[in-house]
């Protein structure tokens, strides 16, 4: 037995999963938000408003330029306070605020707290968002972040794809930040006809298509009207079956919507569409794995965990996602797949260090004797590659 494997067996109880934790550090935190397919959405305007010490309407006083830290900044005159814990005398003061792009005309400014009341206190920082009367009214009337989340989402649901791009983007942000359970509670406020149109619209923003696909599934599952459910599922199926382009924007959210709306039947539908097969498009299988991760975190009430595990294991044959699927199986502690995972070392792992790293991490964490046997076998044939794979799985770069 090699020293490496001897050390593995000698570890104290509870340490067997140390490598596993490192390998899985990149696992998406899908429970935290409704839409793990939306990317990074940042703060919403209501969050910025309610967390600011000063919110004001201001007018531009100069052009934008890079400040000392490299961020774009612009000069503004404070004309009206929307909310403030500072002296009202700051109205009329000039301040410098960070901007995403040059602002022409009116803006809403958000100022942080400062020890003094002066607008230009260097301890107070400002950020600005270009705003017309419509956006100013939106910022002023959006429900406070202290209100129940589902209640807030009902208000923002009517503003998805608003004619004002800034409002549309902010409503999307609110849903992207929300918990999945809260979105389900607010399902009645979502317009199924509009969601169906947005999922089919070729020019829709990729991240938004993913959200709208997921929301279609939420509406399908929540509706008591069989016709509404059928129409939502039909729209999702058409999106799945549409001719694929090179990117297939938002496809992960569409697949998740199928799983939300149909549960186990949705999983079988995706299998029948060939998404688990060797001939499936690699990008589609990456989207599928993302949808399965979401199901593993949020949908075990309608799709048994063992079905999600089995679906993930079926993707081990795909070169595009084998490494990630192996990590996911380790995360599920799906140790019954040890033989299938071990075989990857000699097949896909022969030319792929990412697969070898994932396999080594899985086997090292697995408590079954079969995993020890496989590590011994691999170590006898290629001890150097095994050590490199285990070291890679345990390094911060693996995260």
Same domain, 272 and 391: yes
Same domain, 344 and 360: yes
Same domain, 198 and 86: no
Q: Is residue 236 part of a domain?
A: yes
Pairwise CA distance, residues 141 & 123, whole Å: 28
Same domain, 192 and 298: yes
Q: Is residue 16 part of a domain?
A: no
Q: Which of helix, strand or coil describes residue 312? A: helix
Q: Is residue 22 part of a domain?
A: no
Predicted local confidence at residue 139, as pLDDT: 96
Which structure tokens are listed for 259?
Answer: 């799983």
Same domain, 161 and 196: yes
Predicted local confidence at residue 87, as pLDDT: 67
214's CB contacts (< 8 A; 6+ apart) are 34, 35, 37, 253, 254, 256, 257, 260
Q: Angle at the Cα of 66 (from 61 to 71), degrees rounded to 5?
A: 110
Q: 83, 116, 141: which is the final residue of a domain? A: 141
Beta-sheet strands, E only, within 85-233: 94-98, 106-111, 126-130
Q: What is the DSSP string of 318-378?
A: -TTTHHHHHHHHHHTT-GGGHHHHHHHHHTGGGS-HHHHHHHHHHHHH--SHHHHHHHHHH
Q: Which domain holds residue 80?
A: 45-141
Same domain, 206 and 299: yes
Pairwise CA distance, residues 336 & 370, whole Å: 10
Domain count, the chain: 2
Pairwise CA distance, residues 57 & 25, whole Å: 43
CATH number for 371: 1.25.10
Same domain, 125 and 227: no
149's CB contacts (< 8 A; 6+ apart) are 178, 179, 182
Cα of 293 vs its chain's centroid, Å:
11
Same domain, 209 and 308: yes
Predicted local confidence at residue 346, as pLDDT: 95
Predicted local confidence at residue 396, as pLDDT: 53
Same domain, 119 and 203: no
Q: 95, 112, 141: which is the final residue of a domain? A: 141
Q: Is residue 23 part of a domain?
A: no
CATH number for 94: 2.40.50.120
Same domain, 347 and 381: yes
Crossing angle of helices 383-394 and 3-10, rounded to 10°:
40
Which structure tokens are listed for 218?
Answer: 């939420």
Q: Is residue 310 part of a domain?
A: yes
Same domain, 309 and 193: yes
Task: Quickly tell me which residue has 């596993």 as its tokens.
Answer: 20
Which structure tokens are listed for 88?
Answer: 């009202």
Q: Is residue 293 part of a domain?
A: yes
With a cut of 70, list the residues of the chain below it in pLDDT. Answer: 1-34, 85-88, 114-122, 245-247, 395-399
Q: Is residue 1 part of a domain?
A: no
Predicted local confidence at residue 19, as pLDDT: 41
Q: Is residue 165 part of a domain?
A: yes
Q: 141, 175, 200: which is the final residue of a domain? A: 141
Same domain, 247 and 112: no
């Amino acid at each position: 037995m090699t020293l490496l494997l001897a050390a593995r067996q000698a570890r104290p109880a509870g340490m067997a999963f140390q490598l596993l934790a490192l390998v899985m550090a990149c696992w998406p935190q899908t429970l935290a938000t409704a839409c793990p397919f939306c990317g990074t959405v940042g703060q919403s305007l209501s969050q910025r408003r309610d967390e600011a010490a000063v919110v004001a309407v201001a007018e531009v006083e100069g052009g934008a330029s890079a400040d000392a830290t490299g961020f774009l900044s612009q000069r503004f005159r404070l004309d009206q306070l929307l909310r403030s814990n500072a002296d009202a005398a700051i109205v009329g003061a000039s301040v410098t605020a960070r901007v995403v792009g040059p602002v022409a005309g009116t803006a809403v400014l958000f100022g942080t707290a400062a020890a003094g009341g002066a607008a230009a206190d260097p301890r107070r920082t400002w950020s600005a968002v270009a705003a017309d009367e419509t956006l100013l009214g939106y910022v002023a009337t959006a429900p406070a972040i202290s209100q129940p989340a589902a209640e807030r989402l009902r208000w923002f649901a009517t503003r998805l794809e608003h004619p004002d791009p800034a409002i549309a983007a902010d409503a999307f942000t609110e849903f992207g930040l929300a918990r999945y359970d809260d979105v389900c509670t607010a399902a009645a406020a979502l317009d199924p006809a509009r969601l169906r149109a947005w999922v089919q619209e070729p020019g829709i923003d990729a991240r938004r298509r993913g959200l709208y696909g997921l929301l279609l599934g939420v509406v399908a599952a929540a509706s008591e009207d069989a016709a509404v459910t059928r129409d939502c599922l039909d729209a999702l199926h058409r999106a799945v079956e549409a001719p694929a382009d090179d990117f297939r924007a938002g496809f992960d959210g569409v697949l998740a919507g199928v799983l939300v709306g149909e549960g186990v039947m949705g999983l079988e539908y995706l299998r029948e569409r060939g998404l688990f097969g060797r001939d499936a498009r690699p990008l589609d299988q990456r989207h599928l794995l993302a949808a399965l991760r979401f199901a593993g975190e949020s949908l075990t009430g309608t799709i048994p965990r063992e079905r999600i595990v089995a679906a993930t294991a079926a993707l081990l044959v795909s070169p595009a996602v084998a490494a990630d699927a192996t990590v996911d199986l380790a995360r599920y502690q799906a140790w019954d797949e040890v033989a299938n995972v071990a075989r990857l070392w000699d097949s896909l792992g022969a030319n792929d260090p990412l697969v070898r790293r994932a396999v080594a991490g899985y086997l090292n964490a697995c408590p079954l004797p079969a995993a020890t046997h496989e590590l011994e076998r691999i170590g006898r044939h290629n001890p150097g590659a095994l050590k490199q794979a285990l070291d890679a799985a345990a390094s911060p770069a693996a995260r």
